[in-house]
Amino acid sequence: MTKPRVEISAVLPVYNEDESLPVVHQRLTRVFEKLGRPYEIVFVNDGSTDRTEEIMRELSERDSHVVSVLLSRNFGHQICLTAGLDHSSGEFIAMMDSDLQDPPELLPRMLAKIDEGFDVVYAVRKKRADESAFKKATAAVFYRLLRSVAGVDIPLDTGDFRVIRRNALESVLALRESNRFLRGMFSWVGYRQTGVYYNRPGRFAGETKYPLRKMVKFALDGILSFSSVPLKLATILGFTFAGLGTLYAARVFYVWVRGGTVQGWASTVLAVVILGSVQLITLGIIGEYIARIYDETRRRPLYFVREVLNRARNTGSR
C-alpha cells in the first residue's frame, strides 16, 4: 500500500524549550487538522540541556506526524533550522520558531498566498510585543542597514518565519555555506515572493536565546554574507587618512623650511591614535572575511545528527 505523501512540513529548531514545546505541538496540530492536509511537524533539538529531548521523544511516540531530529551538539539557530529543512518531506514547508512568537494560527493565511501562486511567503512584523526599546531600535536599524548595503532586496522587519514551495527550498539547500543567513539566502535565490503582516506576540515561556553577543554575530553574518561594502569602506578610509596624512606632512615640512618649530604634540598623538584605530578596524574587517573564506575551504559538514525519531513511521518518509 502506498503511503500518502506529506503536503505540509512545519520545521522548528528547538533549544531549551521544554515549557513551550507541548503547547506549540498542540496549536500546530489544531491548525493542520482544520486545514485537512497531510502534514508533519519536524522538531530539531539543537543540543538542549533541559527536558526538551525527553518531551520530543514523548511527542514522537504519541504522534506519528512528529519527526524529531537530535543533533550531536549545539550548532546554532541557522544551522539547526537548515537541518530541519534537510529532513522535511512536504511540498510546502513552514519555517518557524518554537517559542510561539511565530503564531501557528497565521499559517492558513500564508498558505492561502502560496495557493495564489507565490513560492515564498514571509511574515512581516507590524508590532513586537515584550521587547525592549533598545532591541526594537537596533533591529530596525539593522534591517534598514542590511537592505541598503546588501546586493539583494531583503524585506524589512522579517525573520525566518515563512512558508515556501519545495522548488524554492531546494535552491536554498543547494547553498551549503557555513555562516548562514537564511532570510538573505531566500531573497538571493529569487522566485515569486510576498509578505503577510502580523503582530508578533511575546515569548510563551523562558528567556530569549539571542542575547546581545549573538545578535551582533548574527548581524555580522548578514552583512558580511551579502555585501562587500565593509571592504570598500576600509579602502575609502585608508585613502582618506592617507590624504590627510600627506597634507599634514606638507604642513610640517613648510614650517620646518621657514625655520619655525613644529607645534602641536597633542594633535600628533591624536593623529597617531586615529590612524592606528583605522588600521585595526580595517584589519578586523579583512580578518572577518578571511575567517569566512577559511570556514568554506575546510568543507566541513554543517552538522551531525545523533538520532532521528519517527521518520520510519511518518507518512512522508523518503
Q: Bridge-partner residues for 123, per DSSP?
A: 196
Using pLDDT thresholds of 50, 70 and 90, give the confidence band for residue 215.
Answer: low
Using pLDDT thresholds of 50, 70 and 90, give the confidence band for residue 188.
Answer: confident
**Cell numbers standing for residue 272:** 597617531
What Å distances lie between residue 148 and 43, 58, 100, 145, 154, CA to CA? 34, 46, 30, 5, 9
pLDDT of 13 reads 92
Where do the domains of the chain lie? 8-209+301-309, 229-298
**Cell numbers standing for residue 196:** 503577510
Distance, CA of 248 to CA of 34 (rounded, Å): 74
pLDDT digits (tens, 9 = 90+) for 141-160: 666 666 666 666 777 777 78
Q: How far is CA 281 from the centre of its chain?
A: 25
Residue 107 falls in which region: left (phi positive, over 0), alpha (psi -120 to 50) or beta: alpha
Range with lowest mean pLDDT among 171-185, 227-241, 285-299: 227-241
pLDDT digits (tens, 9 = 90+) for 245-302: 666 666 666 666 666 555 665 566 566 766 676 776 777 777 777 776 766 677 778 8
Using pLDDT thresholds of 50, 70 and 90, give the confidence band for residue 228.
Answer: low
Residue environment code for 167-196, b if the CB has 16+ CB neighbours within 10 A, otherwise e? ebbebbeeeeebbbbbbbbbbbbebebbbb
Q: Is the pLDDT of residue 35 over 90?
A: no
**Cell numbers standing for residue 133:** 526599546
Q: Is the pLDDT of residue 200 over 60?
A: yes
Residues counted in the chain: 318
Range with lowest mean pLDDT among 76-80, 215-219, 231-235: 215-219
Containing 71, the helix (H) or strand (E) segment is: strand 66-71
pLDDT of 143 reads 64
Residue 206 CB neighbour total at 10 angstroms: 14
- Is 8-209+301-309 in CATH node 3.90.550.10? yes
Mean pLDDT of 15-19: 86
pLDDT of 160 reads 83
The residue with greater pLDDT, 241 or 200, is 200
H helices of 193-228, in order, are: 212-226
Q: What pTM, to 2 d.p., does this model score?
A: 0.69
Q: How far is CA 246 from the centre of its chain?
A: 43
What is the chain's Cα-based Rg? 25
Distance, CA of 21 to CA of 64 (rounded, Å): 16
